[in-house]
Amino acid sequence: MANPTNAIANRPFTRLDAGERAIYDSVDDLAFQGTYSGTNLIYKGLARPGSDVNDPVWQIALLTYDGSNNLINITWPQNLQGNPSNDYEFIWSLHAGYTYA
């Protein structure tokens, strides 16, 4: 399901300043996928523009809300090693089937 060997290569590009520090507003725009329950975003997926939903290049998160619809928790899918990961190594079309921790 996840492809950890390419996770780093799938990250968005960030430019560095002369001191080798990330310029955060330089991060490439990202493609977005979302799954909603009513007006609440439940799953969010980010990847480089043009990424296919069936390629292991997505950063995916599960968002949890309380009874007042306040966001209370964000969890990440487990990678092949069983560790929660926020890296760009998951397949968006499988987002509901991952185990989140």
The HSE-up count of residue 11 (CA atoms within 13 Å, CB side) is 12
Question: Given this model, what pLDDT does residue 30 score?
Answer: 82
**Burial bucket for residue 61 (CB in 10 Å: 0-12, 13-18, 19+):** buried
**Burial bucket for residue 9 (CB in 10 Å: 0-12, 13-18, 19+):** exposed
Q: d(Cα 84, Cα 100) in Å, to the nearest integer?
A: 7
Q: Which mean pLDDT values do the consecutive 10-residue runs of the chain (101 residues) have?
A: 58 69 65 95 93 96 96 97 95 98 94
Whole-model pTM: value is: 0.78
Question: Given this model, what pLDDT does residue 54 score?
Answer: 97
Q: Which tokens hold the place of 76?
A: 């990440």
Query: Residue 19, SS3?
Result: coil
